[in-house]
Amino acid sequence: MSWAVVSGGVGSIGRPVAEYLADRGWQVLALDREPAQSGPRPTLVAKAIDVTDSLAVNQALDEAIPSREPIALLVNAVGLIWNEPLVSLRGAGWQAHQVDTWRNVIEANLTAPFVVSSAVVLRMARSGGGAVINFSSVSGQGNAGQAAYSAAKAGVEGLTKAMAAELGPLGIRVNAIAPGFIDVPSTRTALAGDRLSAIADRTPARRLGTVDDIIDAIDFLAGNTFVTGIVLDVNGGFRL
């Protein structure tokens, strides 16, 4: 049986993705800084680690997945939505974007998928190939008030294309999904309800996205063996 690895596998999107894959017959390893909140499915193993730590990631892979068993799918659902303008007026004066939060957002959204991918593709290459699916965002095109998040997601898109070019000869396909506004708890935490309603009204599909929309995209990118190096917009037609 082949394995799927889901980074961010306890998050608003990563957790239902990991559970869906487990229910579809995959052996699943979910990696996340946060521990799993409920009992795992028999074919789902969850490990709470720092996914920006290459030693921790490699140790988790070695502990959970026997070396003889192939990893055929990696879904990098790890990420952190962050809103912070480059400059803002707070209290008595102007304040610049904090460097510490910039670093944190880059680490969570760009460094983490790079670290996890670097570890997993070694196993994929040894066993004949597989598919990697990264997560960008509609904000990867540049969104006012999200400088760090936009930069990180644009970086994910560049990383995806570089990986696809390098790893294709090894039988590894690499693509990315760029979701629009998905109706999950992390989105509702980042944006007030009235803003989400306005976004839904501006979206040609006239609604927010759902986790099922994301899962459909994952199914397509995991299954189509002639698609690599693309960023698939899953945004209902929404443009910033």
Which active-site residues does the annotation give? 149
State the helix-helix crossing angle for 112-126 and 54-64, rounded to 10 degrees: 40
Per-residue HEC secondary structure of the chain comes to CCEEEEECCCCCCHHHHHHHHHHCCCEEEEEECCCCCCCCCCCEEEEECCCCCHHHHHHHHHHHCCCCCCEEEEEECCCCCCCECCEEEECCEEEECCHHHHHHHHHHHHHHHHHHHHHHHHHHHHCCCEEEEEECCHHHHCCCCEHHHHHHHHHHHHHHHHHHHHHHHHCEEEEEEEECCECCHHHHHHCCHHHHHHHHHHCCCCCCECHHHHHHHHHHHHHCCCCCCCEEEECCCCCC
Q: Spell out a b/e string for 139-154, using b for 16 or more CB atoms within 10 Å of the CB, else e.
A: bbeeeeebbbbbbbbb
